[in-house]
Structure 1
Amino acid sequence: MSRRIVVLGAGHAGAEVVAALRAGGFTGDLVLVGDETAVPYQRPPLSKAFLQGTATAADLPIRPRSFYDQQHVDLALDRRADSIDTHARTVRVGARSHEYDVLVLALGGRVRALSDPVAAGATNLHHVKTCADVERLRERLRPGTRLGVVGGGFVGLEVAASARDHGAAVSVLELGPRLLGRVCSEVVATHVASVHRRRGVEVRTAATGLRLEADQDGRISRLVTDQGDVEVDEVVVGIGMVPETELASRAGLATNDGVLVDVDYRASAPEVFAIGDCARVVRAGGSTRRLESAPHAAASARRAAAAILGRPAPTDGAPWFWSHQFDVKIQMAGDPDTRPSRWVTRGSVSDGSFLVFGIVEDRIVRVEAVDRPAEFTQTKPWLGRPIPALIDRLTDESVSLRQLLTRH
C-alpha cells in the first residue's frame, strides 16, 4: 500500500494505531504528530506510580523510540496541528503542510478547568494530564503539605492516595453526593471512601458552593465550601476532561462532545477517523457513547486500523477500567451508561475483597471488583449473556465462579 496516513495526537490511541497499521501490513508513509517532546507514554501511572516516585519517566513510554525508527514512523513531536482541509486532504502543522490519504484524529482532550477566576492565575493549582504536570506537583509534596483535591473521581482519588504516601495532609472535595458517582456502584464508592478515611484523607461529599481564596501572591490559600473551609498549600483539580474537538469542528467535521464517528471510528469526512477519548461513537438506534480509558484507546485504534486496511473488525470486548489507590486494586467492566436494576455482592465488603454485579433482567451488565483480579477476569466474558439460573448463586462462595460459569 502506497497511501500516506497522518495521525494527529501522540497519546495512547495514536501510538496504538500506528503500531496496528504496521502490524497489519501498511507499508506507506506514516506520520505521527504530537504536542509533547516525549515519545508516546502511558498516562494511567501518572497519578499513581509516577506521582509516588516508584516509576520514572524512563518507565512510561508505551514503546521505545527505536520502535518508531524501525517501523519507519515519522515522528513530528513538539508540534501542534493548526488546521485541516478535508477537501485538499492536508494538515497544517506550523510552517509545514502534510498531505494525507487517510487522517486519524487521536487528540484526546484537555482538562476541565474550574470557572473561578482565581484559578486562572494561581501558581499552586495543578492538573494531572502530562508528565510535566505531575513532576511539578511531585516537587511540591512534602510531609505536612496541605493538599486540596477538587474532584472525587479516579484521578482525584489516585492523587489523594499518592500524596498521602508522600506524607501530605489531604482533603478531597466532591460536589456530588458520593465519590465515583459517574463510574461505579454505591457499594464500591462507599468502600473507597472508607479506605481513604482510614488512611487519613479527609473526604467531603456534597461540597457545594466551592470558591477559591488567594493570598497577595496569587496562591490559593483556602477552599471555601458550604461545608466549611479548607486551608491549603497546593490544589489539584480533577473534574474530568473536555474532548478536543476544535480542530475537527473548524474542518467541518460533525462533533457533539466528541468527534462523531461510526462503529469503525469513521468521521463525517471521507478517509478521516477519530479514536480514543475524543471519539463519540454513534450506535444503532442513534444513541452515542464516548469512553475515556487506556483500554478503549487501544481497542478503538485497532478497530480503526482494521477499517483503514480493509480487514475484518476485531471483536470488541466490554469497556473496562481500573484504578490503584493505596494498596487496593479496583476494576470494573461494562458500559458505564447502563443503569443496573439491582446489584448483587459476592464476598465481604468489610474484609475489603469482593465483587459487585450489576444486573438487568437475567444478565450481568456491570462487574466491579475490589482486590479480586482473578474473578474479575473470569467474569468479564459473561457480560451481556443471559444466565437467569445463576444470578442468585453469584453470592455463594462455596462454589467458585469458574465452576459456576463453566456449568452454565
Structure 2
Amino acid sequence: MKKLSSAMALLLMASGCKSISHQELGSELAATTASVPDASFPHLGFAQQPSYLANNAVILTFDDGPDVENTVKVLDTLKSKGVKATFFINSNNFTDLNNDANAQALVRRMISEGHLVANHTVDHPHLPTLTATAARKELDGVEAVVAKILGQSSHPLTLIRAPFGEPFQDNDGLTLNGHDAELANVMKAKGVHVGWNLDAQEYNCQSSHQNSATDEQNCVYNTLINGLKKPGQGAYGVILMHAVHSSTAAILPKFIDYLNANGFVIKTTEDAVRGKYGKSSAEVLGGAASGGVFPPPAGTITKLTVGQTIRVVSRFSGKCLDNKDGLKTDNNPLQLWSCTPNNANQFFTVKSTHAGLYSLVNKTSGKCFDLLTGASSNANPAVQKTCSTAASQQINPVASIQSAFTFKLVSDKTCLAIKGPSLDDGASLHTWTCSADPQEQWYFVAL
C-alpha cells in the first residue's frame, strides 16, 4: 500500500480515526527523551539498491493477507513455480483471522509450503497515531493468533513490517527521535523490521484504472519490470506486493517468468537479514544468545509409550523434527521446520528396541531416525534409513530440564544437536558432544 506521510498520519489523529489524541501523544512524547540511532534499530531499509545483497537478488513479499480469494491464487502460483515468499499478515484486515477457518488454513498452508509468515499488525493502523503500548498490542495480537492456528504454545514472528512503512520510511538511515524512537524500540523488541526496495503500487494502479482490469494488471506489471530493469540497471532486493489484490495474483506468473528469464535470483527475507547482519532474524532478536526460550508446547509428555505417535520439538527453536520434503528414500536428511498440524513429515511413531532404548519411525516414509554413518564422532548428520537393529537408530532419551530430554545416540557417545545452532526452517541436525545446551534439548509432544 502506498504509505502516507507522517504529517498526514498526524492529521488522522484529529479526524477521529483509531488513534490517540494530541494530548495523549504530547504527554507520551514529553515523558521520553528516547533516541534510537538507525544502526541500532534492526531493519532492512528502503534504498533501491541495498548494499548487502547482490544486484540480481530479489525477494518477494506480500502484505495484508490472508484473504480467501487472491491469496489462494498467489500461493498456487508460488507452488507451481517453486518459489518461496514472505507473507506479512494482518489478523483483522481483509479477514478475521481469529475466527475464519478458511483464512487460518491459508496460514497453515504458507508454513507447510515453505514460506515465511511475518507480522504486519492486527488492524493495519498508522502506527504514529498509536501509543507504544497500543503498537505493541498490534504485534502481540498477530503472534497470538498465529500461535493458536499452528497449535504451538509459542510462535514468535521475528520479521515485522509497519503498515505504510510508517514512521521508518521517512527516517531511513537517520536517527529516530521522540515517538518514532519509541515505536522503533517496540519493533526492536520483537524482531527485524523489513522495509522494501521496490513497490508494486497496486493501490495507485487500481485507482487510475478503475474501468479496466487488464489495464490495472499491466500497470502493476510494468511498475515492477520498469523498476527492476535488468540486474545492475534498476532496483533490486525486497519487492513489496499485496496478496489481496487480483491484479497481483493475475500478473505473478508472468512476473516470475520475467525474473527467471532476465538473470534475477529469487531469495528469501531471511537471506537479506543474513546479508546485512550475518545471522537470522531470530538470532538478531537474541534467540541464539539466550537459547531455550521455548516453553513446553501443549501436549508435552514426559514418558514415551511404545506405539504412540509424537512430534519432537526443539526447546531451542520451537521447531519440529521433520522428514525433509517427505521423501521415502534412505539417507534423506532430517531437519527442523515450523510445526504445522496434519503434517505427517513431522509425525514419528515410537518403537521399542531394548533396555529402555527407542527408535522413531517417520509417518510419511516408514523409515527410522538414523545417522549417516555409524560413527560416534561429532558432526554425524541425522537422516532416515530403513529400520533395523543398528545402534545408530537407538535413542536413549534422558530427562533434562522443563520436561525436555536429550537424545543420547550411538551407545551414549554423542547427543542430537542443531547444527549452527540455527533457528531457521531447514536447520540441519547432527551429533555433538552431550551438554546442557538448549540446542540439544527436545520435547515429546503427543498427537
TM-score bracket for this pair, using the shorter chain length: under 0.3
TM-score with structure 1 setting the length: 0.27
Q: 1 or 2, which has the higher helix percentage?
A: 2
TM-score with structure 2 setting the length: 0.25
Q: 1 or 2, which has the higher strand percentage?
A: 1
Which gives a bigger RCO, structure 1 or 2 (Cα 8 Å, sep 6+)? 2
